[in-house]
Amino acid sequence: MTDLLPGARWGRATGRPLADVDPGDWLASATALRDAGHDYFDLLTAVDEQEAGFDVVVHLWSVPGRTSVLLRTRVPRAEPRLDSLAGVFKGAAWHERQAAEMFGIDFHGHPGLDPLLLPDGFDGAPLRKDFVLASRVVRPWPGAPEPGQSSAEAAVGRRKTLPPGVPAPGTWGSP
């Protein structure tokens, strides 16, 4: 299988072959894998790797061969853009809509990246690690008990702390 994608870096993840490709080779690599028999599209997802960008991963399955392969690429955080696989795998359209909505990744050539899960007018990409959960900021975090306090005393005098992942007030805005 490694000869199918000459520019790929091969490894293993979760017991499956994993091909890392450059974003420019994404569409051609997925097409080559489909043509080689991995014609069942299982899923497409993304992972926020913070400053490094976003890893986009697709899982493909060969029904007759009973084998699977993972295809992965990394797009830059500043301009997360990738060719759409919707023309190669019809099932990719829904997954790309979700990744576009939740991570802000633009899938070039997609037939319609309409919002799928979030309400109309929602601002931001909630699965990005820098997205601030407004509900945690609006409702105060209960804090942690001071050292040496009993649980009864802790309810009265807790040290106010911010929940994990929430920046100090006045230092955050819309991503």
**Would you give per-residue pLDDT tens digits along the chain (175 residues)?**
678 888 899 999 988 999 999 999 999 999 999 999 999 999 999 999 999 999 999 999 999 999 999 999 999 999 999 999 999 999 999 999 999 999 999 999 999 999 888 888 888 899 999 888 766 565 555 555 555 555 555 455 555 666 666 677 666 655 4
Q: Are 89 and 76 in contact (CB under 8 A)?
A: no
pLDDT of residue 25: 96
The reply to whether the predicted model has a pTM over 0.85 is no
Helix spans in the chain (H): 26-35, 92-103, 134-138, 151-156
pLDDT of residue 96: 97
What's the Rg (C-alpha) of the chain?
21
pLDDT of residue 4: 83
CA distances from 38 to 71, 130, 149, 150 (A): 11, 35, 60, 59
- Domain extents in the chain: 9-108, 132-175
- Is domain 9-108 classified as CATH 3.30.460.80? yes
51: amino acid identity, one letter:
E
pLDDT of residue 38: 96
